[in-house]
Structure 1
Amino acid sequence: MSATLGDVDLDAYVAEHEGEWRRLEQLSRGRRLSAAEADELVALYQRAATHLSVVRSRSPDPALVARLSRLVLTARAKVTGGSTFTWRDVGRFFTVGFPLAAYRAWPWWSGVAVAFSGLTAFIMWWVAGHPESAEAFVGEEAARELADSGFAAYYTEFTAPTFAFQLWTHNAWLAAQCLAAGILVVPTVWLLWVNALNIGAVGGVMIDHGRADVFFGLITPHGLLELTGVFVAAGVGLRIGWAWIAPPADLGRGRALGEAARSGMLVALGLVGVFAVSGLIEAFVTPAPLPTVFRIGVGALAWGAFLVYVLHFGSRAAAAGESTDVSP
């Protein structure tokens, strides 16, 4: 074979190896192979991989490259065996994958939590101390209606199961936006600002009208866990963006971004469960006719359990040298 595969040489190359490729295609199908066929499959797979490399480097024929690529991928899946669902994988996700990803990003989401809480508290203090600002935000009549009954009525407007599902999907979507927009940084910061402004303005209106007990008594039970989930999503999203802006010295920009993004996918999946729990608390516990201290206690217990879970399993996985990245 010459150093360059021309049209004539390419046709000859295909004719020479066509039989091997067809045989490899037959062996790569779903049927069970004998020991001899399995050995043949491995040998043909290795040859086809070499053929693909030669064609890629010496021929611009995209159709042949695509055909050999599909053949090699199919054969490799047959050789290595397809991935299957196991409960061990599920257990590893909950004891290593998700908590480790959240644990390693804790400086980011802790920073988001501090900044968000500080900004929300300032807005709340400002609106409560300047009634005219409340009118600018929601209007005088709307502010009075919100304080009298509107805020509390929000938690009983729908049946509990329907409300829980709505909250679950809404919060999961917000978290997904924070994670996906993290690479651009600014959209995630904007989403946090909008939510801080909303909570701060409503809280300020309630405090100004003497209903601080109602506001904090209703928002705290579910808000502790729910907002922590949002903080984790935003923090991990911003971490992904920072991996693109300032990658570690030992990693290229693409690799650093890829590792951070794959870790973010684990967090996104784990937060689905977190928001399911916070949604159940908001739908069933927050509006329940129970003492305020009991309702807040339930929320605080769920919040504390989540933090202990991430700290315990995350630190243990980090000490063991585990990774959140895709295994070789």
Structure 2
Amino acid sequence: MASLAHWRDRHEAVLAMKQSHFEQRHQDAWQQFGERLDALERSRRRHDAGDGFTQAYRQICQHLALAQARGYSSHLVEPLQQLAMRGHQQLYRHRSQFAAQLLAFVLADFPRLVRAEWRLVTLALVLFFGSLIVMGLLVYGYPDLIYSVVSPAQVSEMESMYDPAARRIGQAAERASSTDWLMFGYYIMHNIGIAFQTFASGLLFGLGSLFFLFFNGLMIGAVAGHLTDVGFGQTFWPFVVGHGAFELTAIALAGAAGLKLGWALLAPGPMRRGEALRIAAKTSVRLIGGVMLFLLIAAFIEAYWSSMTWPQPTTKYLVGAVLWALVASYLMFAGRTPHAPD
């Protein structure tokens, strides 16, 4: 019995020594995390959690698990449990506030931002839709003009995609057997590529964005004019009228975001160009966030609605008119409050 008691005492002494070493090693980190939690619990700001909070919380959880597995005393385990519980509450709060921030951006902040940059947005819209409409009318009146901007192979592919006899409208023959889900992903990647190109090229003092707005307008207008001229307008227009509200608007807004970067480089004012570009980029990146949302919606509509052949053209035109009105109303009126005039 004496030897058993001696062994137990020795084990407890070793355990206490290990616990003491464990506490000394991590005490500063626990104290810093506790102080950070105190500050967070006193504040209601949405972005207080900051960088590294999740990593620090996970470290506390690891230390708690080790303390429990090694059988350390409740004097150590219970404070760690409290830290872990408080950290979990703050992490949950932070994630909930991120969702609230995202919702606020979608419902109010993005349309307000578009209206705040109305000059650049108007320039982008006029350049893009102006070149689209003018080129469409020219190609419709002078059919051979299509080959000045589109190769014969591309013209043939477009005709096959919008042939009234096609099973799925708007899909090339080699993709005809693809599922709607795969086409949804394809449309997202394709449209984001165009939007990012239009946006990022604004770093060339805005010239790149101006070029791609004009070029994309010419290409889309030429295709629209040609397909209408050859009699495929009955399939082309019902196909594009729905998702075009979001997709075409997004391309123009991406151009406006690129022009914002270019203008900061051309006219930095009293600031250095680097500083002016950094400030402009904050606005441009937020615009691109809204553009990505528009392109996501456009890809969904294109994959699951536009390509269907069973709805009557009149139905698609009505749905398209509603979607265009929705986009226009959203950008012009969403987020307006008596206390926050645009």
Query: One fold, TM greater than 0.5?
Result: yes
1:270 equivalent in structure 2: 290
1:150 equivalent in structure 2: 161
Unaligned runs of 5+ in 1: 1-22, 40-72, 323-328
Q: Is 2:206 the counterpart of 1:205?
A: no
1:27 equivalent in structure 2: 28
Mean Cα deviation higher: 273-282 or 26-35: 26-35
Aligned mate of 1:294, from 315, 322, 332: 315
Using the size of structure 2 for normalisation, the TM-score is 0.63
Deviation, structure 1 residue 232: 0.8
Distance 1:202 1:304 in 2: 24
Q: Give the conservation status (yes or no) of the 8 Å contact 2:238–2:313.
A: yes
Relative to structure 1, the CA distance from residue 30 to residue 204 in structure 2 (aligned partners, 3 Å threshold; closer, same or farther) is farther
Asked which structure has the greater RCO (Cα within 8 Å, sep 6+), the reply is 1
Aligned mate of 1:172, from 189, 192, 200: 192
Q: Give the number of the structure whose alpha-carbon radius of gyration is greater.
A: 2
Equivalent residue pairs, number = 258
Distance 2:245 2:191 in 1: 13
1:188 equivalent in structure 2: 209
1:91 equivalent in structure 2: 103
In the TM superposition, 1:1-328 aligns within 5 A as 27=28, 32-33=33-34, 84-85=94-95, 86=97, 87-138=99-150, 143=155, 146-147=158-159, 149-152=160-163, 153=166, 155-156=170-171, 157=176, 158-184=178-204, 185-248=206-269, 253-288=273-308, 289-316=310-337, 320=340
Deviation, structure 1 residue 278: 0.9
Relative to structure 1, the CA distance from residue 247 to residue 316 in structure 2 (aligned partners, 3 Å threshold; closer, same or farther) is farther
Amino acid at match of 1:151: Y
What is the root-mean-square deviation of aligned Cα atoms in Å? 3.6
Q: Give the conservation status (yes or no) of the 8 Å contact 2:245–2:320.
A: yes
Distance 1:220 1:258 in 2: 37
Aligned-partner SS, 1:115: helix
Using the size of structure 1 for normalisation, the TM-score is 0.66
1:10-44 deviations in whole A, cap 9, x for unaligned? xxxxxxxxxxxxx9x97356764479xx89xxxxx
Relative to structure 1, the CA distance from residue 138 to residue 175 in structure 2 (aligned partners, 3 Å threshold; closer, same or farther) is closer
Distance 1:34 1:282 in 2: 51
Deviation, structure 1 residue 177: 2.4
Q: Give the conservation status (yes or no) of the 8 Å contact 2:234–2:313.
A: no
Relative to structure 1, the CA distance from residue 91 to residue 220 in structure 2 (aligned partners, 3 Å threshold; closer, same or farther) is closer
Q: Give the conservation status (yes or no) of the 8 Å contact 2:127–2:214.
A: no
1:32-70 deviations in whole A, cap 9, x for unaligned? 4479xx89xxxxxxxxxxxxxxxxxxxxxxxxxxxxxxx
Relative to structure 1, the CA distance from residue 89 to residue 126 in structure 2 (aligned partners, 3 Å threshold; closer, same or farther) is closer
Relative to structure 1, the CA distance from residue 212 to residue 90 in structure 2 (aligned partners, 3 Å threshold; closer, same or farther) is closer
Q: Give the conservation status (yes or no) of the 8 Å contact 1:120–1:200.
A: yes
Amino acid at match of 1:84: H
Deviation, structure 1 residue 181: 2.0
Relative to structure 1, the CA distance from residue 210 to residue 179 in structure 2 (aligned partners, 3 Å threshold; closer, same or farther) is same
Relative to structure 1, the CA distance from residue 210 to residue 239 in structure 2 (aligned partners, 3 Å threshold; closer, same or farther) is same
1:160-183 deviations in whole A, cap 9, x for unaligned? 221122112221232222222222
Relative to structure 1, the CA distance from residue 307 to residue 29 in structure 2 (aligned partners, 3 Å threshold; closer, same or farther) is farther
Deviation, structure 1 residue 231: 0.6
Amino acid at match of 2:94: T
Distance 1:142 1:93 in 2: 39
Distance 1:230 1:245 in 2: 22
Unaligned runs of 5+ in 2: 1-23, 40-50, 57-89
Amino acid at match of 2:146: A
Deviation, structure 1 residue 315: 4.1
Deviation, structure 1 residue 228: 0.3
Relative to structure 1, the CA distance from residue 123 to residue 34 in structure 2 (aligned partners, 3 Å threshold; closer, same or farther) is closer
Relative to structure 1, the CA distance from residue 277 to residue 74 in structure 2 (aligned partners, 3 Å threshold; closer, same or farther) is closer
Deviation, structure 1 residue 242: 0.6
Aligned-partner SS, 1:155: coil
Deviation, structure 1 residue 256: 3.3
Q: Give the conservation status (yes or no) of the 8 Å contact 1:28–1:74.
A: no
Amino acid at match of 1:178: T
